[in-house]
Structure 1
Amino acid sequence: MEVEQLLSELQQDNITLFLAGQVFLVVFIALIADLVQKRLIERVRPRVERTPSLWDDALLFAVRPPLTALIWLAGISFAADIVGQHTGAAIFEAVAPLRAVGMISVITWALIRFIQGVEANILRWKGDEYDPTTVEAVGKLLRISVVITGVLMALQTLGFSISGVLAFGGVGGIAVGFAAKDMLANFFGGLMLYLDRPFAIGDWVRSPDRNIEGTVETIGWRLTVIRTFDKRPLYVPNSTFSNIAVENPSRMHNRRIFETVGIRYDDAGKMADIVADVRRMLEEHPEIDTGQTLIVNFNGFAPSSLDFFVYTFTKTTQWTKYHEVKQDVLLKIVTIIESHGAQIAFPTSTVHVPEGLAFRGEEGAQAKVGGRSTLERV
């Protein structure tokens, strides 16, 4: 009996050693495979970076961490299978479904990274050809689709009925829709911003209906962040943009100069020449777009001046340069008026004194009574 017991213990020890060896071998193979794939990726990466294609860079970026996770997931799960086959423990029965869920998670992770890599490459290298807002919107939609698909596949792998989950989601969606109608309104408002594209990130926008004006920083699914000109962040729910008018000055083709200039009534005879010279100056100005409307005309008798107006457009749309051009135009108008011996009018009042009246004052100066000039018949 003692011999049989000793042989049984020796056999058990041999089985344990054999099991440990198998587990060690699987883990060792996983380690070697991980080192090999890292070395291969490091050798391939310089060649991939030199190619003009955007897809291979994104693919290499996508597979690096998920591939390591996939190798170790496979190694550890197979080692657990070996242990489970020899021990028969019930806990190891969950290894297979967990491995399947892990595989789905790793593939989902890799696809999300691939979409992020393609999006980043397009914005970095093709930013002039594609609208950044559209690229980001498409990337978000694709990532959401991948996540939803991965979750449904994982649930099916764990034994849940997808049809039941979808039915429950439909019924629950109605309740959630009533409870979170504002959130859904913001979501669909953001979707319409991505589709209609009234503005993009970096645009200067303003609304005549609301006190909204600034530079767009972020267009999210729930709200849009606008940086006002005093550098404060303004958070606007996306549903707001479906109910207001939005002006986008960043997409102007030109900026307008519209000014009215008045000269004295004494210079009425010089008006025609002044208007002609101002029009000629604008037509020859290098920063004025002569392909747009250009008007310089005498248009009114003001109380203290004869007015002509200037209506023209600059080539630049940049705010600071526009004001430099406008300043140059106005100074040249002043020079033209002075070159004709005329003067720019300012508010004045003329008093006509009838015959027979004269000012009386001490030693020829006008007399003041209570701060007012007095007239006396002579």
Structure 2
Amino acid sequence: MLAELSVQIVKPQVWVGLALTAVFAYAIYRFGRLLIRALTPHIHRRLPPVLKWLWLVTVVVAWLAVATFVAYLPSVPILFDLGRDITRGFRNSAGQLVVVIAMALIAWNLISALAARIVAEQEFNRRSVRVQTLKGVVESTLRVTVVIIGVIAALQALGVNATSLLAGVSVLGLAVGFGAQSLIKDVFNGFFILLEDQYGVGDVITINTGQLSGGVERLNLRVTALRALDGTMHIVPNGQINTVSVSSKDWSRVVAAVDVTYNANIDDALRVLNDVSQELYASPDWRHFFLEEPEIQGVVALAADGITLRALYKVQPKSQWALGREFNRRVKIAMDEAGIEIPFPQRSITFGPAPIEVRLTRAARDQAPDPAAQATVNVHKDAAPDTNDTSGQNRQKPPVEPSLGRDPEEEEL
């Protein structure tokens, strides 16, 4: 036996055969484990461990027998004869079908395992978006490829001539292709979206000039899945996407605008706007979002209801909404502290020079009004409104942790 083994072991074809049989044995073992897992809820709880050990021993013995036959060691008659019988059995249709299914299962699990090892960075950037997008596309494409190849191999194992079948399918596909132009358009559009990195998983986009908006949760060659802020999922075929507005591409901008009344001191208001902007820029909680120093544009509009002041912040993508909310909070407190009024809708009602006397009387049938139940309320037109009290507000420390989530796009909700 050792002499035969020393002669056969130096042959390259023996090593190739042993490697292939080991792969086939592992595929069949995994296929059997899958069947045992499916049977586990329907059998006694003590049987699954026993079945797993029996299946492992069976596969190991079968592989040793086949390896003995591949290495051609007739001096081990029991294993050699068993390996020859197993090899002949797997050359039949049923054996080939089992091998095809087992190999397809191995490939499917291998794709899932490799995809799970590809983890994008937690920080939002174009590389993480690209990785997340291509991960889903490549995984789905490989799985479709495994299914197609597995079906063709299974048909061949059952004796069906796959070549003639594919020729017939191609003729049928040509006829169907004229009616599937939209599907082809979807795939081509999706291909160029991925190739040019127009957007990806994690981006916030608006499709076709405001028809649909949301965050991209899934993207493949056929469809784009958007999640709106209210949780609605929009599934859009890529062929129907004509224009895309991306709110998270490379960098974003906060349009920090505030209105003041015409009675306000504009120079003081501009100083407050600049102080709030520089305060945000220097804050350790917000500094890392800024890409450039804030730009104070000044007075940008003299509107009917007030004067508009504006600053611009160039920031990291997807941080513009949180920064905008924090700016609104701080600038409101700062304007109150400076005594600068932010305009709001007002209405004036005039009743004449004298105070208004309102009498509340309890009505009763067949009785005169009770004087004790009357009340007099004097309303004066010159009553002054309450002033804003800012003593309990801290501009730099919000009472609650601000959310970093996004705001709804136009017409999203």
Give TM-score, length-normalised by structure 2: 0.52
| Structure with more helix by fraction | 1
Deviation at 1:134, TM superposition (A): 0.4
Deviation at 1:329, TM superposition (A): 3.7
Tell me which residue corresponds to 1:328: 329
Give TM-score, length-normalised by structure 1: 0.56
Paired positions, count: 276
Gap change, CA 1:310 and 1:185, over 3 Å in 2: same
Gap change, CA 1:347 and 1:175, over 3 Å in 2: closer
- Equivalent-residue separation in structure 1 for 2:144 and 2:327 (angstroms): 49
**Is structure 2 residue 308 aligned with structure 1 residue 313?**
no
**In angstroms, what is the RMSD of aligned CA positions?**
4.8
Give the one of 222, 225, 243 matched to 1:245: 243
Tell me which residue corresponds to 1:24: none
Gap change, CA 1:228 and 1:98, over 3 Å in 2: same
SS in 2 for 1:209: coil
Tell me which residue corresponds to 2:277: 282
SS in 1 for 2:245: coil
Deviation at 1:323, TM superposition (A): 4.3
Deviation at 1:319, TM superposition (A): 6.6
Higher CA-based Rg? 1
Alignment of 1:222-233 (within 5 A): 222-233=222-233
Gap runs ≥5 in structure 2:
1-24, 34-54, 67-80, 355-413
Alignment of 1:148-167 (within 5 A): 148-158=148-158, 160-161=160-161, 163-167=163-167
The answer on whether the counterparts of 1:255 and 1:315 sit within 8 Å (CA) in structure 2 is yes
- Equivalent-residue separation in structure 1 for 2:113 and 2:164 (angstroms): 35
Tell me which residue corresponds to 2:136: 136
Tell me which residue corresponds to 1:206: 206
Alignment of 1:1-378 (within 5 A): 96-123=92-119, 131-158=131-158, 160-161=160-161, 163-220=163-220, 222-241=222-241, 244-251=242-249, 253-264=251-262, 270-285=265-280, 286=283, 287=286, 289=290, 291=292, 294-299=295-300, 301-302=302-303, 307-313=307-313, 315=315, 317-318=318-319, 321-335=322-336, 337-338=338-339, 343-344=341-342
- Equivalent-residue separation in structure 1 for 2:60 and 2:204 (angstroms): 44
Post-superposition Cα deviations, 1:151-179, rounded to whole Å, max 9, x if no partner, equal 33444455555543443333222112113
Deviation at 1:299, TM superposition (A): 4.4
SS in 1 for 2:244: coil
Gap runs ≥5 in structure 1:
1-32, 42-63, 86-91, 350-360, 364-378
Deviation at 1:118, TM superposition (A): 0.7
| Relative contact order higher in (CA < 8 Å, ≥ 6 apart) | 2
The answer on whether the counterparts of 2:261 and 2:343 sit within 8 Å (CA) in structure 1 is yes
The answer on whether the counterparts of 1:223 and 1:237 sit within 8 Å (CA) in structure 2 is yes
Deviation at 1:295, TM superposition (A): 2.0
Post-superposition Cα deviations, 1:92-134, rounded to whole Å, max 9, x if no partner, equal 9x97133223323322221222112111222489998661220
- Equivalent-residue separation in structure 2 for 1:182 and 1:190 (angstroms): 12
Gap change, CA 1:97 and 1:275, over 3 Å in 2: same
What letter matches 2:310 in structure 1? V
The answer on whether the counterparts of 2:298 and 2:311 sit within 8 Å (CA) in structure 1 is no
The answer on whether the counterparts of 2:254 and 2:315 sit within 8 Å (CA) in structure 1 is no
The answer on whether the counterparts of 1:337 and 1:344 sit within 8 Å (CA) in structure 2 is no
What letter matches 1:149 in structure 2? I
What letter matches 1:100 in structure 2? Q
